[in-house]
Structure 1
């Protein structure tokens, strides 16, 4: 019965320690794509710890579950886990973790449904404000010009995606700045950043007291913007992207002493102008490989008794 407890403790420690370690890392702004991967691996490891602990705790509490979980296992594997000694503690742990899993699924479903409803509303508003011409047949990814004095641009995701730019943005953006903004938004679409934000929002909304999920949501909102900035910068240059960000946001109160604390725009502009060099390819590969090993740890802990029994 030690394995479910070890997995539970490992999940809690990862949820507490990982955000602090990543907050101290000095490379995340230079390599936002790698940082996104690391965060996903950390969160996957936490969820794996709790999920595997739930399965093994349920196996310890109820012989029917144990029979199904170890149905195809060779002789002696189930005995190696010592699951017959679980008792009430195992049943309570399994039920709590199962409720957490159901709650996570419910929160993710709600997040997706809210996002779909929001897209339907924005799409209907877009059709009203920028109606199609007679005989016009829009294609996915088409650029839509919206009559609005405020400079803005965004990607409307979904089954029929649209790239929307306001006339205010067209008047403000000069030279290749508009192309840079469009490349930024297309970077979001290509990497499917909307799904990352949905998952992060569901976990943080469902478990607001868990530090790793709250930090995951905050970092996802920041890192996806940095990653999209880099996509645009590689095509049009960092200075062009920085100037486009200033033109789009200087009237929104994000610069100067009364700036909204949740806005990352000033940080993004400073990062683009600083033009720090990327990490070496070897270090990027090393960080990527090390992050991939993080979810492997709970799998190793869960399967170690069975593998030792087979050996």
Structure 2
């Protein structure tokens, strides 16, 4: 009786060690590039640091108290919230619209699918340089169009009222390709028999969209919304190239604020505190989304 039991435990132990061996490269990579930086950031958030980023003086929660009283940090959080509000809903609706168009069985639709997904192949740096020229106050295409129609010119990246909107427009364009491709894949996985049955029953396009397409696409939409929210909170590249947080700190999103605090002002303690606050904020938003949004997801 004991021999089979011992043999089973030995096999489980061998299988466990084998599984751990296969997982070891991933565990090492995650430890070096995810877990250690995360714990190091939390640790440094309780210290004042020197210019090398080494902990010099334990100040407890004073870095967090400083952020609570800092008008610059509150402005950064406000700008980040507005940026997310501008980019995520518009970007997802635009990608969904393009995906619905590209899902139609029309001659030459493959060309448009390629065009809609093409932004995936352009880096943030290259895209930002393109938009930098488009937004140029004197030679940019947008102001030239406004001039043709006798509208007043806009200082797109130099006016605090327009700078965040301008960066949001470029970000929506950059992210549309990825969202479009994922949504198109979700649309093409919907069973065609559902549409055929609804056509036989006399259902119109918008009825099918509301009763079949969106419910069947809801898992994909849920994924895209989650990814888009997290990416919007972590935006950095286009801010650094287009505005560098200006003008008047109107585009100083929290990730760029962390960069400035750490690598320009050499205040790694307060930068780490900002990073911890950002992590907690994203965590709360993601949990709320799973709690509230997943109820409306229809898994097949």
Q: Normalising to structure 1: TM-score of the pair?
A: 0.25
Structure in which a larger fraction of residues adopt helix: 2
